[in-house]
Amino acid sequence: MSSKEEMTDKGNAAKSESELRQELGEERYHVLREKGTERAFTGKYWDLKDDGTYHCAVCGEVLFSSETKYDSGSGWPSFYQPASGDAVKELPDSSHGMLRTEVVCQKCGSHLGHVFPDGPPQSGLRYCINSASLDFEKSGSGEEKED
Ligand code: FE
């Protein structure tokens, strides 16, 4: 097994895809770089209620805050808005016979999930995000990562 220290290094922009694959592991790599989807209720953050920020697992950019996380019942971490106006990019996605809006990290282009128009009143939007795409950092804990 590889170490815990590695995940705190977010100098991933310069890494090759094969280095990224090694560092992230097959499952996370598949979601982030091949637009995969983790199975519902299997990720590590769908039910997390702690205060903190959710970062891109590839580049470390702050993408979502626990303040906008809510329980959508979907089995994936759900947020009604991104951490900032330019944290994520939204792209049309017609794969799998559906018209959806894909959500990717604005900074590095990694796949995060999709956004749907059935969110709570705050925005009406549901950002349905894979746990595998995120690294959670608990408030006030500096640099806390778990594997
Ligand atoms: Fe990123």
Catalytic residue check, 128: yes
In this predicted structure, what is the pLDDT of residue 142? 56
For the chain, the average pLDDT equals 91
Q: Cα(80) to centroid of ligand 1, in Å?
A: 19
Q: Cα(30) to centroid of ligand 1, in Å?
A: 15
Q: How far is the C-alpha of 49 from the C-alpha of 15, rounded, in Å? A: 32
This prediction has a pTM of 0.86
Q: Cα(105) to centroid of ligand 1, in Å?
A: 5
Mean pLDDT over 90-118 rounds to: 97
In this predicted structure, what is the pLDDT of residue 52? 98
- Confidence band of 8 (pLDDT split at 50, 70, 90): very low
Q: How far is the C-alpha of 140 from the C-alpha of 119, rounded, in Å? A: 29
Classify residue 22 by burial, with Cβ atoms within 10 Å: 0-12, 13-18, 19+. Answer: middle
Ion ligand 1: residues, CB within 5 A, are 56, 58-59, 61, 105, 107-108, 110
In this predicted structure, what is the pLDDT of residue 105? 98
- Confidence band of 132 (pLDDT split at 50, 70, 90): very high
